[in-house]
Amino acid sequence: MSSTRLSAVLDGVLEAGWLSAIVVAPLFFNIYSSRVFEPDKLTTLRSIALVMSAVWLVRWVEERASGRRGPRRVTWRTPLVLPTLWMVLVYLISTVLSLTPYTSFFGSYQRLQGTFTTLSYIVIFFIMLDRLRSRAQVDRLLTTLILNSLPIALYGFVQHAGRDPLPWGGNVTRRVASNMGNAIFVAAYLIMVVPPTLSRIVSAFQSILSDEEAGMLHVLQAAAYIFIFLVQMIAVWYTKSRGPLLGLLAGLGVWIFVGLLTLRMHVPRTGSSPRQALLKDLGQGLAFGLLAILASGAAGGAMYLLARTAVGSGSSIPQFGALVGGGLMLAGLWLTFVVNQRGWRWLWASALMVAVLVVALFFAVNPGGPLHEWAVNNPAIGRVAKVLETESGTGRVRALIWEGGLKMILPHEPIQYPPTILRPEWRPDPFNAIRLLVGYGPESMYVGYNRFYPPFLGHVESRTASPDRSHNETLDSLIITGIPGFIAYIWLFGSLFYFGLRWLGFLPADWRRWLFFGLLAGGALLTIAIVTPVLGPHFFCLALPIGMVGGLFLYLLVYAFSLYWDKSSSASSHPYTILLTGLLATFVAHFVEINFGIAIASTRTTFWALAGTFVLLGLQQIVEQQREQVATVPSSAAPASRSRRRKRRRAKAPQVPHRPLSPIAWLWPTFGAATIGALILGTLAYDFVNNVERMKDPLQVLWRSLTVIAIPAGRPPRISLGILMVFGMTWLAIGLLMVAQMVRSGVVPRRETWAAASVVFLVSLVVWLAFGLVLAGRHAYIVGRAVRDVGDVLWIAEFVADQVNVYYAFLLTIILLGGLALAGGTLGRGGRATPAGLLALLVAAFSWIAYGLIGTPGGAFPQPGDLALAATLGIVGTLTVGGLVYFLIPSLKNRLQTVGWREWAVAFAAALALFLAPVFAVSFNLQPIRADIVYKQADPWDRQGQFAVAIPHYQRAIELAPKEDFYYLYLGRALLEYASSLEDVNQQVQALQETERVLLQAQAIAPLNTDHSANLARMYRRWSELPAGKEQRQSLLNLASRYYETATTLSPNNPILWNEWATLYYYSLGDKLGYQRCISQSLSLDPEFEQTWLIVGDIRVGEGDLEGAVEAYRTALEIKPRQPRVWSALGRVYLQLGRSAEAADALRQSLELAPNARDAWETHRLLAIAYYQMGYLDQALSEAQTALTLAPEDQRPLVEDLIRQLQQALPSGSGSP
């Protein structure tokens, strides 16, 4: 309970903050920026966390000053607190000792998952531990979480149907990517929401069956949750993601097995012996399970036949129909028995049988199984049949990445930092000896992995890509934070499993508790011992988590058996059994999934929010404002009559004291629910409102954004209401589920149901329309902007970048208004705000005003002097106002005199935090996104060769994000291309010198990034070939060679760099020994890299070794046959050798592979010569004439001369022209 009104408002703001976090992280994306998804989500999340931390500190000051603080809820003894604090400490140490400390703290360009982000998750976790107090808050949290998943899943439907209004670069029809840009990420998020949704379905049915006042609203609520659950499951299926699917199966297995064991725990013991009872229940359970599976198979087969008859065999609908039909039959049979309280003793045995069958089928369809070949060719389960694949596809990619990752954490020679303009000497990693203890630092794998990159990885993945994650959380924890971080990770998840089972009553204080720990550890060790000798030591990272989960399931099985010998008649029940079961299943699903993929913004945010809720529910620290049920009955419902339950509820309800509520008290939480709905709809509006058709009417812009499919170039627009359906269904679900939950919990009186629904529907709709029109209006305004020069183009880029400012303003407004609404019901019960709390707010407000007047223009990093001056002016302004109040308002004078110096000091500290939080949010979160938007605006100019326009964009991006080396790289490339286009030598020299400065600065920022050293080498080589480099050609080539040496030292297993260095030696430096050394090294690293053999062939041609060239070209084609460039080169060599027939075959192959290549004319010319040599004069003339039609103007005389020769060679009267 808050002591003052200010504390109550701040509590409301904190709740609005964590609700915003779980909405924004999954739902938000930014089509205006280059990265679109993860960094944009995380910068917004970090801003929310910064504001929440400052607000929490001010609230703490307010409570401290009020003198009415209650007992501390969070101590080191609180579950999850110690492992979380240990994780914080480990991350901080690892960041300080990181290979790249700045990147480790703030995050990389692509991921942004640095220590700053991790601390943001944990701040939200701790604030929720402290301030999540009531059942209404828990209900809002879970309802918001489930509602937020609906538009994400529905957008997947729209993508799968090919009705997406946004023109994504990849194929989002075959594997949907939804709001996260990656199919795996979408599935990873949705599997975390499925178990809570199932818990809500069970709770809804429990209410319908047990509450005599349940009506149509409860039925609609249950139907809505069932609909959302089905949508989630289908969307997961549409992603075709294997790791999340395994996680989902594990999570559902825990949910079902724990739920059925809970029913078994509340069945009275029989008079028979434990052994007889166990055997009897096993027999009945296995029999029922077998019959259920047979019935499910029959239903699935019938659905398959019906669907195949309707749509034919060429569609995947019959398989999907069979899956749905079988699943519904299986679920229906089990629900019938559960609802009718039949089979509670032995249904767990049926679940065991189904689980064993699923596991057996999983291994049967994977490599080595008898059904693998059939499953691989079946589109419905083809990807599931490749989960255990390690010799090809993404399974091979993961295995190779893990192989390199293992080498990173084992002892090795230190990584070397190259010379830079800041530190012009080589230096070893000073902490190499303790890397296993401290890790390489968050976000450092991208540069640290280069030295350990397996050459064969380039055959199954892009050769230019360097892994920044191992796609396995176990190995990632060791690489990033070392053994202490690995301990924190295992400790955290082990604590979740332990406390979850303990609160649910599955870990009594006897031998079974020790058995649990033994099976978790033993399962991990045993699986490692089995897997590593078979698949390799690098598979330990997968064996360990799978072994832990296997140990968990084995413990549940042993516990089920032990119940028959348990002397207690029934177990004590937890009042939140259903919720705890759902959350435990979520954590198990997430634990499995992150060991096949990558933890992302959406899953991390959801995990930490649910972890805080899980602890508070488990400790029963959630206050029930209006208890509708008694905690002595398990939420799974013991077998007692319905009438007895109702009597018990009615008898005990009056014991709960509560204040009389105002007749309109329900309006406050209703407005709070409406703001949550407005946030979801407003975020969707930001995601989708655009103006591809360049319309000038905001209403048209808004409407067309939601109804027009992505327009391919040169095609007319097509109308589809898919996204409008997403908005409409989300809006309806918000009103229904928010209001139904508030009515059910007693927050809204039943008689006010329609009024509350009207408020939620109207407010959320109006806010969405208003915000959508603001966004559309900005799009329409920019269409009419005239572009006269580069300054106008830059203004447009800045205007587009300000679009994210509009969303931040919207988000802040929602948090503040939502916080006020959520706190409104408690404002009348708190005392007046304390002077210390008001002081903190005033100082922060005056400091913001001052900083706005004197702050850093353009919004780069805040200057310490500006911050200090703004804070000083804020304090002076507050003291001035305080002095006037002190002398002019006697009633406040006495209150100010009661504040001690400690309260004043703490208040000033809180004010400083409240002042700095938004400043840092703008500088370190908002401005990097604005920089990325400006950078993206340069892309079309860059691709068009308008480098004079692109360069100022890159420079502005660097002004906004001066520590982002990625922008320097592109600025340097644009400057180099611009310099190459200049004819004036002096201007060319100046442009090249600026290019050199920019690329050297990029290398100084990120010296371990191989790209920068390689780009410097390429730049110097290019410089030597330009007129500006003639006088210093040799020195430039020597510099290029030196930077190639640096690049190959950083990435010694990259054959591309060795090949480039080899060609520099041969063609530019004339050093054949250097060439031979580099090309030999490249071949020793990867003898199956076709580019290397192409280079060898070209050089052998230049040296006159034509037979050697043929051998090299043939080797390249054996490795990769579809290479028109190599076939053409081979044909040319065959011509020189006089092997005309082989030349013709090779040249025809080249044309077949690339008929429209730029040099196709030359291939046709050579083919004409080959035909001539073979005596096929007509074919030769035809090919020569084709070459003439394709040849550029400067090459036409060469082809015309060939045609004349061929015409002269033709016998007279042949009929040829």
Which segment of 586-595, 854-863, 1074-1083 scores lowest on mean pLDDT?
854-863
Mean pLDDT score, 1177-1205: 90
Q: Is residue 1164 part of a domain?
A: no
Mean pLDDT score, 920-947: 93
Q: Who wins on pLDDT, 828 or 773?
A: 773
Q: Is residue 278 part of a domain?
A: yes
- Check whether 903 has a pLDDT greater than 90: no
Question: Bridge-partner residues for 48, per DSSP?
Answer: none
Residues 216, 1095: Cα–Cα separation, whole Å: 75
Q: Per mean pLDDT, which of 55-69, 727-741, 1154-1168 is the most reliable?
A: 727-741
Which segment of 371-385, 851-865, 989-1003 scores lowest on mean pLDDT?
851-865
Which segment of 649-663, 897-911, 1053-1067, 1202-1216 scores lowest on mean pLDDT?
649-663
Write the secondary structure of 376-405 as one string of H (helix), E (strand) and C (coil): HCCCCCCCHHHCCCCCCHHHHHHHHHHHHH
Which segment of 88-102, 301-315, 677-691, 1130-1144 scores lowest on mean pLDDT?
301-315
892: confidence class by pLDDT, cuts 50, 70, 90: low
CB 194 within 8 A of CB 233: yes
Q: Is residue 759 part of a domain?
A: yes
Q: Per mean pLDDT, which of 162-171, 212-221, 958-967 is the most reliable?
A: 958-967
Q: Tokens 């832990």 identify what position?
A: 548
Q: Is residue 853 part of a domain?
A: no
- The whole domain housing 775 covers 667-784
Q: Is residue 941 part of a domain?
A: no
70: confidence class by pLDDT, cuts 50, 70, 90: low
- Check whether 1216 has a pLDDT greater than 70: no
For residue 28, give the nearest of 184, 175, 189, 142 by alpha carbon.
Answer: 189
Length of the chain in terms of residues written: 1217
> How much is the pLDDT for 845?
84
Residues 371, 359: Cα–Cα separation, whole Å: 13
Q: Strand, coil or helix: what is 596? A: coil
- Check whether 824 has a pLDDT greater than 70: yes
Q: Is residue 334 part of a domain?
A: yes
Rounded alpha-carbon distances, angstroms, from residue 51 to 47, 777, 972: 6, 29, 37
Mean pLDDT score, 78-94: 97
Residues 765, 771: Cα–Cα separation, whole Å: 10
Residues 738, 729: Cα–Cα separation, whole Å: 14
Mean pLDDT score, 319-341: 81
Residues 630, 637: Cα–Cα separation, whole Å: 11
Mean pLDDT score, 778-785: 89
Last residue of a domain, one of 297, 325, 343: 343
> How much is the pLDDT for 69?
65
Instruction: Render pLDDT for 1128-1174 as a digit per residue (tens, 0 to 9).
Output: 999 999 999 999 999 999 999 999 999 988 889 999 999 999 999 99
Q: Per mean pLDDT, which of 72-81, 384-393, 726-735, 1205-1214 is the most reliable?
A: 726-735
HSE-up (13 A, CA, CB side) for residue 272: 9
> How much is the pLDDT for 634?
40
CB 290 within 8 A of CB 353: yes
Q: Is residue 333 part of a domain?
A: yes
> How much is the pLDDT for 867?
78
Q: Is residue 998 part of a domain?
A: no
CB 1014 within 8 A of CB 1057: yes
- Check whether 161 has a pLDDT greater than 80: yes
> How much is the pLDDT for 416?
95
In sequence order, the 6+-apart residues with CB closer than 8 A to the CB of 855 are 862, 866, 870, 919
Read off the pTM: 0.91
Residues 864, 853: Cα–Cα separation, whole Å: 15
Query: What percent of the chain has pLDDT above 90?
Result: 62
Instruction: Render pLDDT for 553-576 as a digit per residue (tens, 0 to 9).
Output: 999 999 999 988 877 655 568 899
Q: Who wins on pLDDT, 778 or 64?
A: 778
CB 138 within 8 A of CB 132: yes
Which segment of 658-667, 771-780, 945-954, 1126-1135 scores lowest on mean pLDDT?
658-667
Residues 180, 927: Cα–Cα separation, whole Å: 22
Instruction: Render pLDDT for 212-263 as a digit per residue (tens, 0 to 9).
Output: 676 788 899 999 999 999 999 999 999 989 899 999 999 999 999 999 999 8
> How much is the pLDDT for 395?
81
Mean pLDDT score, 40-49: 96
> How much is the pLDDT for 712?
66
Rounded alpha-carbon distances, angstroms, from residue 189 to 150, 185, 556, 1213: 12, 6, 26, 77
828: confidence class by pLDDT, cuts 50, 70, 90: low
Residues 1074, 172: Cα–Cα separation, whole Å: 47
As given in the structure block, the two tokens for residue 1088 are 């199956």
Task: Tell me how crowded residue 959 is: count the other CB atoms within 10 A of its CB.
Answer: 16
Residues 705, 1175: Cα–Cα separation, whole Å: 63
Mean pLDDT of the chain: 88
Instruction: Render pLDDT for 600-647 as a digit per residue (tens, 0 to 9).
Output: 999 999 999 999 999 999 999 988 754 333 333 343 344 444 434 344
As given in the structure block, the two tokens for residue 1081 are 């090294």
Residues 210, 197: Cα–Cα separation, whole Å: 20
CB 734 within 8 A of CB 811: no
Q: Per mean pLDDT, which of 140-154, 205-219, 334-348, 1163-1177 is the most reliable?
A: 140-154
Q: Tokens 């009955």 identify what position?
A: 633
Last residue of a domain, one of 759, 784, 809: 784
Last residue of a domain, one of 729, 759, 784: 784
Mean pLDDT score, 275-295: 88
> How much is the pLDDT for 384?
77
Residues 301, 293: Cα–Cα separation, whole Å: 12
Number of domains in the chain: 2
Mean pLDDT score, 746-763: 92
CB 665 within 8 A of CB 825: yes
